[in-house]
Amino acid sequence: MKRWVKMIRFIGGLCLVTLLGIAYVSYLCHNSLCLAPEHSSLSPRYSVSSSSSSSRSEILSTPASLVKLIGGFPSKVNIESVAFQEAYNMGFDITSRDVIVFLHIQKTGGTTFGRHLVRDLNLENPCNCPRKRKRCDCFRPNTVNEQWLFSRYSTGWKCGLHADWTELTDCVEGALDEYEGTSRKRRYFFITVLRDPIHRYLSEFRHVQRGATWKSARHWCGGQEFTSLPHCYKGSNWTGVELDEFMNCSYNLAHNRQTRMLADLTLAGCYTGYNTTADQLERDKILLQSAKQNLASMAYFGLTEEQATSQYIFERTFHLDFANPFDQANATLSAQAIAELTPVQIERVRQLNSLDNELLEFARQLLHERFKMLKRRDPHFRRNWLRVIHPHNTSFHHAYSLLDG
């Protein structure tokens, strides 16, 4: 009898220790300490060009196909993503299985760029944009429902309002399968636009001040939707908010928005323990590194402050031309808004967007590298560049067409 009692106690003790261990590990992962594994399975299909920049040299390869389980959140990304070099070498085949996916970050000029994509590309079969309808039909030639463009103004927000990299890579293929009524593998050309972080942040602040909320954003990550993220305001919106109040909300997703939207959030436990001070430095490091890697892996990105360069890079990468040029927006309004801030407020905005600042510096260097490479390989660079910066000067174009001829 005593022997059975000892055995029961022993088994009970083991169960108790096991339960305590599981609870402890779950607690750590809940607080985002179970972050990225030491060895992640990255496909070496795409490599990032080397640079003297230390941050550039840290980015070793770009994932084309990932299957991972990090921080308790599974993320199964198994799509074929085309990087810049391959896009340039092979071009974009609108008649086959190629799809441009526009990752639209708030207040970066993405609305204007999105309209360029559906209205201004010189195509044999341009998008059909009916009057009084926001969206256009961008179907492949000789098809009735196969989309070559996944964006706000073509398919709509099928992966959620302003879907980020984590949401898009997890959703886009299934969304297109559902839309087209067939399951097929496609090649995805991810593109985006970035903006100076201070100007973008202040633009978002003014937008929220006027009543914007983006409440319907899904925040999908690791196979689940995070619906319980706290709001910075009470009521239906944050109309009339002052800048200091806007900045003081620690869980305001406007802070470092560009980095967060370009990073693989599963590497940092998705939104679990978001913005907790205990692990924020480690989380920031992981998100910034991931954002840089994903940006470098994209087929294309542009900068709001460098419209002509961005247009030229797009046209030469995709071997497609725009009928109307990208307009360089006047920065007077943004400059005036910054001039109205105190030095303390400007510094606070800069601190809150320090990751975005570093990401933009990386992007600017990479953009200029791509421009130099394309310029060097373009036998008609002067003609193509003049067409971008002087689109309506026919004498320039005629002269250089004679020289080329």
pLDDT digits (tens, 9 = 90+) for 274-298: 666 568 889 999 999 999 999 999 9
Lowest mean pLDDT among 1-10, 83-92, 160-169, 240-249: 1-10
Task: Reduce the secondary structure of the chain to three states and give it as a string.
Answer: CHHHHHHHHHHHHHHHHHHHHHHHHHHHHHCCCCCCCCCCCCCCCECCCCCCCHHHHHCCCECCCEEEEECCEEEEECCEECCHHHHHHHCCCCCCCEEEEEECCCCCCHHHHHHHHHHCECCCCCCECCCCCCCCECECCCCCCCECEECCCCCCCCCCCCCCHHHHHHHHHHHHHHHHCCCCCCEEEEEEEECCHHHHHHHHHHHHHCCCCCCCCCCEECCEECCCCCCCCCCCCCCCCCHHHHHHCCCCCCCCHHHHHHCCHHHHCCCCCCCCHHHHHHHHHHHHHHHHHHHHHCCEEEECCCHHHHHHHHHHHHCCCECCCCCCCCCHHHHHHHHCCCHHHHHHHHHHCHHHHHHHHHHHHHHHHHHHHHHHHCCCHHHHHHHHHCCCCHHHHHHHHHHHC
Domain ranges of the chain: 84-392
- Give residue 328's pLDDT: 82
pLDDT band at 403 (very low <50, low <70, confident <90, very high): very low
What gap in Å lies between CA 63 and CA 340, rounded to an integer?
43
CB 261 within 8 A of CB 221: no
- Give residue 174's pLDDT: 97
CB 238 within 8 A of CB 213: yes
Checking if the pLDDT of 397 tops 80, the result is: no
- Give residue 290's pLDDT: 98
pLDDT band at 392 (very low <50, low <70, confident <90, very high): confident
Lowest mean pLDDT among 111-120, 253-262, 267-276: 267-276
Mean pLDDT of 237-251: 97
pLDDT band at 335 (very low <50, low <70, confident <90, very high): confident
- Give residue 274's pLDDT: 64
- Give residue 280's pLDDT: 87
Query: Could you tell me which CATH number the domain at 84-392 has?
Result: 3.40.50
Checking if the pLDDT of 401 tops 70, the result is: no
Q: Which of 104, 116, 162, 255 is catalytic?
A: 162
Checking if the pLDDT of 77 tops 80, the result is: no
Q: Write out pLDDT tens, residues 139-164.
A: 999 999 999 999 999 999 999 999 99
Q: How many C-beta atoms lie closer than 10 Å to residue 21's C-beta?
A: 10
What gap in Å lies between CA 170 and CA 81, rounded to an integer?
12
Checking if the pLDDT of 130 tops 60, the result is: yes
Checking if the pLDDT of 2 tops 60, the result is: no
Q: Write out pLDDT tens, residues 189-228.
A: 999 999 999 999 999 999 999 999 999 999 999 999 998 8
Nearest to residue 312, comparing CAs of 377, 359, 257? 377
Handedness of CA 345, 350, 352, 353 (dihedral sign): positive
Checking if the pLDDT of 303 tops 80, the result is: yes
231 catalytically annotated: no
pLDDT band at 347 (very low <50, low <70, confident <90, very high): very high
- Give residue 345's pLDDT: 97
- Give residue 53's pLDDT: 38
Q: What is the pTM of this model?
A: 0.81
Q: Write out pLDDT tens, residues 8-58.
A: 666 666 666 565 555 444 433 333 333 333 333 333 333 333 333 333 444
Mean pLDDT of the chain: 84
